[in-house]
Amino acid sequence: MSSDLQDRVVLVTGGGSGIGRGIARVLADHGAVVVVTDLKLDGARAVVAEIDSGGRRSMALHHDVTSWSSCHDVARRACERFGRIDVLVNNAGVSKSVPFHLLDEAEWDRVNDVNAKGVFMMTHAVVEPMMERRSGKIVNISSMVGRDAIPLFVHYCASKFAVVGMTQALAKELAPYNINVNAVCPGVLRTPLWEPLLDQLSATKHITREEAFAEFVAGIPLGRPQDPEDIGEAVAFLASDRARQVTGVSFHVSGGQVMN
């Protein structure tokens, strides 16, 4: 494995499972020092144990991305431990399939508070030191439905479109400080985030959960789902100096399902 992120300090939100776990592990393999934050501290600690067993340095922190104080606290503690944050990966996210006419304010707020407001607050917590150093990378995890919306996920699509908009605006605003801001848009992955959705779809359509997942996979031109490490490799590229001229992009990792 390359060491193009050697000793870069990277903070990954929602890193205790799913895509976040894959991102954290890949970045560690590329040489990064990884701060894994998660609402479920046990999950973050388990990922850190995996990273540490490979001889890399890491740290687990409890983190609620919907809390201003929690976002600033994890940034402060990471800097106290490692001196700085070179790369922020805004990965934490939630989802649920809800017909629009049944979507209420509480569910709208739940999803948008994590997926969109959480990106704003965590980025706010780390950006000033990056500006002062005139160096930094921010990678936001959006979704293929943040560029090409689907029904029954209006609030989720709205939150992920917001991430793409924030990415583009921040890329322009922070470019004079030599800070690159990009988004990665995953496609179909069998992660814990998908399991409740598969339960819903199997019950609604009277099919098995495996059949429900197969319906999603059938729409992928390459014919196979992605895995968390696929997303991690895209993040590793955008976090590295190899992508020094790349900013404001939405980097699709969806097997060709979305191509714009």
Mean confidence (pLDDT) of the chain: 95
- 129 lies in the same domain as 220: no
Query: 0.85 exceeded by the pTM?
Result: yes
177: annotated active-site residue: no
Residue 260 lies in a domain: no
Q: What is the span of the domain harbouring residue 215?
A: 191-225
Residue 1, pLDDT score: 59
Residue 25 makes CB contacts below 8 A (sequence gap 6+) with: 47, 50, 51, 229, 232
- 221 lies in the same domain as 99: no
pLDDT tier at 2, thresholds 50, 70, 90: low
Instruction: For 50-105, write each residue's pLDDT tens digit.
Output: 999 999 999 999 999 999 999 999 999 999 999 999 999 999 999 998 999 999 99
Quick one: DSSP state of residue 176? G
Instruction: For 112-149, write each residue's pLDDT tens digit.
Output: 999 999 999 999 999 999 999 999 999 999 999 999 99
- 164 lies in the same domain as 213: no
Residue 33 lies in a domain: yes
Mean pLDDT of 215-231: 94
Please count the structural domains in the chain: 2
> Do residues 257 and 226 touch, judged by C-beta distance below 8 A?
no
Percentage of the chain exceeding pLDDT 90? 87
Helix (H, G, I), strand (E, B) or coil at 215: helix
Instruction: For 174-217, write each residue's pLDDT tens digit.
Output: 999 999 999 999 999 988 877 887 888 888 889 998 998 898 89
Closest CA to 26 of 42, 50, 45: 50
Return the ∠ at Cα 131 (arms to 125 and 135), rounded to 5°.
110
Instruction: For 11-50, write each residue's pLDDT tens digit.
Output: 999 999 999 999 999 999 999 999 999 999 999 999 999 9
* Cα–Cα distance, 83 to 157 (Å, whole number): 36
- 123 lies in the same domain as 71: yes
Residue 159 lies in a domain: yes
- 15 lies in the same domain as 85: yes
- 105 lies in the same domain as 210: no
* Catalytic one of 82, 156, 213, 237: 156
Extract the tokens encoding 208.
């098995």
Residue 234, pLDDT score: 98
- 114 lies in the same domain as 197: no
Residue 69, pLDDT score: 98
Extract the tokens encoding 198.
């598969």
Residue 257 lies in a domain: no
Instruction: For 154-169, write each residue's pLDDT tens digit.
Output: 999 999 999 999 999 9
* Cα–Cα distance, 145 to 103 (Å, whole number): 18
